Amino acid sequence: MAVKTEDPRRFLDPDTIARISRLDLRAKRAVEGFLTGMHKSPFFGHSVEFVQHRDYAMGDDIRHLDWKVWSKTDKFYIKQYEAETNLRAHLVVDVSASMHYGNGPLNKYNYACTIAACLAYMLLHQQDSVGCMTFDEDVRHTVPARSQHTHIDAIVKSLHISTPRDKTDIEKILRRVAENAPGRGMVIIVSDLLVDRPPLFRGLEMLRHGKHDILLFHVLDEEELTFPFAGTTRFEGMELLEQVLCDPRSLRDGYLEALQEYLVEVRRGCARRGIDYQLVHTREYLDAVLSKFLHHRTALLKAKQ
């Protein structure tokens, strides 16, 4: 008898795609790319929009001299333009063992992969270039950045085969991303962030040093946020082998207090570094989460223009 396997395209939720298809994910900062599109490059080219003149220097291409200015001033000036370029986005998705937790319709792994797949679909739809990396202690799978619409199949397949296992080494992974991401781009991290904060912030600092635009989706299960357990319960570690048998009511207040301190520290740390941070839980409607996030991002961009 044939064994039924899950379809990798299950991560492309039709309702979510339909709701966010009219939005775009413009980069907050200038990014370097390689195609012609909607995003402005930080490098000067020779097309699209004139920016400024600069003095001619020995070795400059004389084709870019402004002869009208020369005729009036008898001085040589080079015309500079701001080229427009497509965005190059990098999806970085946590598939460590803790991502397997969840009692709702989607566990954290499936929810995170659906976020990544839907954003990849939207970015490819607006002709941007998207790559994907899944990780735990090490890189599990990588898909190079491409801009063809059919590239979505390679991305969802990489998410599908990277089922949760092992623990997380967030600093090592973000260092790898920072070292291998060519030029400036957008880095979209999807993780439960069950890691120590110092290595997390060190990793984020590496990405900010490369002037990447960073989006961080912090995925937690509803039970992790509310700790609703009652009665004698055995808790088993998913990335550690420890087990604890206890009455969870005696732990609840301390757990929720520690959780809030942790969430505040992560949120403030991201804000200080100019990182777009979004806490989501697995029982939220994903289309509403993404629509709200993208509308908020678009509003911030318009306010700065």
Lowest mean per-residue pLDDT among 39-53, 192-206, 214-228, 267-281 = 39-53
Q: What is the pLDDT at residue 35?
A: 42
User: Would the pLDDT of 4 be above 60?
Assistant: no
Lowest mean per-residue pLDDT among 21-25, 160-164, 177-181, 281-285 = 21-25
Average pLDDT, the chain: 81
Q: What is the pLDDT at residue 28?
A: 66
Lowest mean per-residue pLDDT among 124-133, 230-239, 260-269 = 230-239
Q: How far apart are CA 35 and CA 89, in angstroms?
A: 13
Q: What is the pLDDT at residue 39?
A: 61
More confident residue, 81 or 34: 81
Homologous superfamily in CATH for domain 8-26+87-304: von Willebrand factor, type A domain (3.40.50.410)
If pLDDT is split at 50, 70 and 90, which confidence band does 2 have? very low
Q: What is the pLDDT at residue 59?
A: 62
Q: What is the pLDDT at residue 34?
A: 43
From-to residues of CATH 3.40.50.410 in the chain: 8-26+87-304
More confident residue, 195 or 245: 195
If pLDDT is split at 50, 70 and 90, which confidence band does 200 have? very high
| Tokens describing residue 59 | 């070795």
